[in-house]
Chains A and B, each alone.
Chain A
Amino acid sequence: MASFWNRLLGRQEATSADTARDRLKLVLVSDRSDISPEKLAQLQGEIIAVIKRYLDVDDAHVHIKLEQRARENYLVADIPLARDTSYGALPPVEAPPELEPEPEEPARATKPRKPRAASPAKPSASAPRKSRSRSTKAAVPDTDPPAEPPAP
């Protein structure tokens, strides 16, 4: 966690312990789930192919990976949708209301530059609001969760 903040704040290079931890997490995920990186890549391709039948996907930024939380494995998909050009000018940066700065420069909003965080994607009405811009996030437990009622 500390290393995450260090990197976020640009403080220092990853230490060898950070590298060890990251490598371990990766290798354990494939050890535990018994899926090779190639198979995972194939899975990613197929998932994207299915989603593309319904939505425009920003291929370059798709991340589908196995992740470990406690001793459970999760398949986590982070699939940004391609910008809908017909949607017109993007509204200004979405930020929590208490952090929103005064809109002092109206000229800034009209610039068609890629905003850091845009409004929620149009098609993904059910996407969690916390997710990265224009992306759908899904976390599916790899193993059956104990005694969870079926989704409605």
Chain B
Amino acid sequence: MTARVITITSGKGGVGKTTATANIAVALASLGKKVVCVDADIGLRNLDVVMGLENRIVYDLVDVVEGRCKLRQAMVKDKRVADLYLLPAAQTRDKTAISPQDMVSLTGQLRADFEFILIDSPAGIEWGFRNALAPADEVIVVTNPEVSAVRDADRIIGLIEADPRRLPTSLLLNRIKPEMIRRGDMLSVNDVLEILSTRLLGVVPEDEHILISSNRGTPLALDSERTPAGDAFLNVARRLMGEKVPLIQLERKDGWFSRLTRIFGSSK
């Protein structure tokens, strides 16, 4: 077994990197893959709370790097699914506590035992981003359909393109509101793709269930209830596994009939 190391990044903060990392990791694990996610956001760790594992952390990434514990001791096992682990970030240190080389050797030790290593990158393009990118085989750029997020995604894609390793990069467009796109008040999926000219990995609709799941610390793929965002993340996981999964039909078929029924107030 040789893991694929996938770094999830965005440039801009608050677009849903951590949520995406947690949900993709849980989805992959629920599909039977051996997964570890690494929180590379030293000093501002959050992957633990989104995944609901914050109470079980004993050691962290920096403890491993500085030799206070073995790698295995720092890894928190998610008991709700088989083969899902979290390597938490340190909360009381800053990003300079680890180096890109540390990240490479750390993931190197994990590669043999897992199929996917997901790295949750911090926002920005500085040290933390370099740390998260150093061990990557692939990159997922998360963005939202808004001007600032797309601009930052473009910057990040430019930085990844400038890297001599030529890492395969794909786009995860998060927080789409089909109704706003229909009104012409939100950049469409095609608008964003045209501007960024990047392969599309998935489209995730804005969904209240995301907030509810992070309130509870239960990523959507753990929930038995089917949700729009949960389905979208499950599809992303399938695509990462090489399956051909069509995009969720976000926009309703908007023929003359449905428009007519809306005009006449039918609750369709």
Query: Footprint of B on A, CB under 8 Å?
Result: 3, 15-18, 20-21, 23-25, 27-28, 31-32, 68, 70-71
Contact = CB atoms under 8 A, between A and B. Distances in A.
A24 B155 contact: no
B188 A17 contact: yes
A17 B191 contact: yes
Nearest to A15: B184
Contacts, number: 43
Given A17-B185, A31-B154, A31-B155, A71 B161 contact: yes
A21 B184 contact: no
Mostly, the B contact residues are: helix
A141 to B, nearest CB: 15
B123 interface: no
B175 interface: no
Nearest to A18: B184
Interface residues of B toward A: which range?
10 to 19
B199 to A, nearest CB: 12
B29 interface: no
B195 interface: yes
Contacts of A70: 197
B197 A20 contact: no
B185 A24 contact: no
Interface string B184-201: 111110010001010000
Contacts of B186: 17
29 contacts: A15-B183, A15-B184, A15-B185, A16-B184, A17-B181, A17-B187, A17-B188, A20-B146, A20-B147, A20-B187, A21-B191, A23-B147, A24-B147, A24-B151, A24-B187, A24-B195, A27-B147, A27-B151, A28-B151, A28-B195, A31-B151, A31-B154, A31-B155, A32-B158, A68-B195, A70-B197, A71-B157, A71-B161, A71-B197
A98 B45 CA distance: 67
A21 B181 contact: no
B237 interface: no
B150 interface: yes
The 7 tightest CB contacts between A and B, nearest first, are: A15-B184, A71-B197, A70-B197, A16-B185, A17-B184, A21-B191, A20-B147
